[in-house]
Structure 1
Amino acid sequence: MDLVPYAIPFFALSILLEMAWDKRKGSGYYRLNDAINSLSMGILRTSSALVIFGFGTVLLLQLGEQYRLFDISTDSALAWVLAFIGYDFLYYWFHRVSHERQVLWASHVAHHQSEEYNLTTALRQTSTGFLLGWIFYVPSFLLGVPPEMFITVASVNLLYQYWVHTRFVPKLGWFEWVFVSPSNHRVHHARNPRYLDRNYGGVFILWDRLFGSFQEELDEEPVEFGISKPLHSWNPLWANLHLYRDMLASSWNTPRWRDKLYLWVAPPAWQVPGQAAPIQTGPLPKYDPDCGPAARTYALLLILAMFVWGSYYLVGFADQNYAARLAGFALILTTLMEAGAALENNSKRWYSLFRRGALSGSLVWLGYHAEPQLAAICYSLALVAPILGWRLTSSTRKASGPLSQS
């Protein structure tokens, strides 16, 4: 059983409590635009499960059905413990290779783009992990771990990782020798050269200590969060796809076939010979365009609406036909993109019209596949949403001028 959807209320409450504590302490660990972008990524990842069913899932189920070595019972407590430990061991290697090979880093990079570190960062998940991530879990299904057991231990592993995305918990003494803690996971999210690509464990930090990838958080070197080549965008779709675009462009423009192929499996820092980009050193400025209070309010309203709608979508659309599920997902995607664009203060009018046209189109499409009451709401919003967005953000654009980055 996937336990993550049941934890959504806890996620919301704990984030609000951490935000309140941050404000009271004056720590400055939250920025609204960064937090909204992380939440957008989480909503997009969760909702995409209803429209994306990867080939890897089918193959894993077939392997477990036809080639399993053992018949493992879900009634065995020992089997659950071993399945949990085994999953974390496989996760360690999946996570490590995701940092060491470009084609996997292109997916995993989405989780590391935030330049802040708080509980919303934990929800910043990739939507493209279904492409290759399944490969690392083949051993579980070959050994005979039942699908329901695998899903449950995987969700428990993911839920454990939520609480370590905070800066308010200090080092925890002996605990850090065995388990992943907020301190050693902060190191994992660092872009400091000393901390880069360390501490891959999900629940157990023992794997890092055993396989030489552990790095302690040092008092003399504060963590700088983010990635070496910042995204400079609040667009959640672009956050998922930008490295794939870059790899395709590099592969197309690279003359030697050997390099065209190798760059996909090369370390992320590898550059085509003769095309190396200059390396940025020292602290990097945070991406923080000034969009004004109206645009921030508009983006916040959109993300809150999608939090509510996304929760309903996961339950209410699970049994709908694929066209209806796709319509509901289109609404989520276009709304999240609109929220991101508002925070970027994009001054290109044609782009704003196109984006809001797509938002209205998704509402109309959803209304076509929805029940009459929901259809009426969708059609009304399709008329109001573009006007509301334009009115809330146009005064900000006039006052602050173009600040768009992509």
Structure 2
Amino acid sequence: MRTQVAIIGAGPAGLLLSHLLAQGGVDSVVLETRSEQYVAARIRAGILEHSSVEVLRSAGLDTRLRAEGDEHRGIYLQWPHERHHLDFVGLTGRSVWVYGQTEVQKDLVAARKAVGQEIHYEVSGTALHDVSSDRPHVTFTDRDGAARRLDAEVIAGCDGSFGPSRAAAPAARTYERVYPYSWLGILADVAPSTDELIYAWHPHGFALHSMRSATVSRLYLQVPTGTDPATWSDERIWDELAVRLGHGQDGWRLTPGPITERSVLPMRSHVRTPMRHGSLFLAGDAAHIVPPTGAKGLNLAIADVALLSRALIARLRDGDPGPAEAYSDTAQRRVWRCTHFSWWMTTMLHTSGEEFDAELQLAQLRWVTSSRAGATGLAENYAGLPIGLDAPR
């Protein structure tokens, strides 16, 4: 087998990259360890920033997003007895969209199938070879048990933090921050109790009221790392959400419903640099992880892929190696800005049990919600910086 770009991973990053490359006249083959059904069902991110929506629009992938997604002007920041709305559109002219990663995946799968994209699901033993050279290749076993080899000019690692791509690209430096708490997340078959997301600071710990649709709510509670979700009954979860989200405060009510899924998500930041090793380029979770507080995980992956597709088209179609040489440095300016924003949101909203920390957090929340400069800074980062550009200096 031979192609121009071998893409490892058929999640949103890998499929979006194959789509953008095809639009630029570059062919690719996608390899995925999991089944198509497994990848499609993964419940992950649910917020698309303005820049991500623009990428999907320009790629012709926003039809269902515009019809079925929910555009939000901003978020609520809350602490006991106070709730404040931050109007992103009024502050920055940019909105965000509630549209789950599962829906983005459906759109990408449909678009790639429509043009006959070659995708190999349920492969095993994937190994990357000669990535330091200009003739890399990938070996794997297909779902029928046959040994295969895929030769390429470039390999794109879009296979997450546990895939083979990260291991094949030795990092010059790795940075990591592990937080001493996790999120207990639930999906519930109940209409959201809020029109926009609520980020709540509470002495018991952080809580978030999000949503996936008009009939499905997504909610989170800060819990100690190592928490077993089975130790939280449905009743306990709803009771604690009601406390932290302010049920009854100014007449607002949290409506409980049947919980269909629960899981515990550890919180950590991880950045490896550079995001390129020879002919291997990393994108998305293969290169960086952020805590979900700032809603940046999927959006960073989309930004990486938007940059990487332009770089590879310039190199493989136009013979211009410049953008590919600059890819890692360019991408990491945005990665570090979003890593900082995710850390800032996380440390502002999650409790440590220390009274001093609590007072600092409340002072910061009061400043963000009372200062136009503070509110604009949060809105600018949350709604999304331009792709390929650093924060304004």
- Give the TM-score category using the shorter length: under 0.3
More strand by share: 2
TM-score (norm 2): 0.25
Flag the structure with more relative contact order, 1 or 2, with Cα contacts below 8 A and sequence separation at least 6: 2
TM-score (norm 1): 0.24
More helix by share: 1
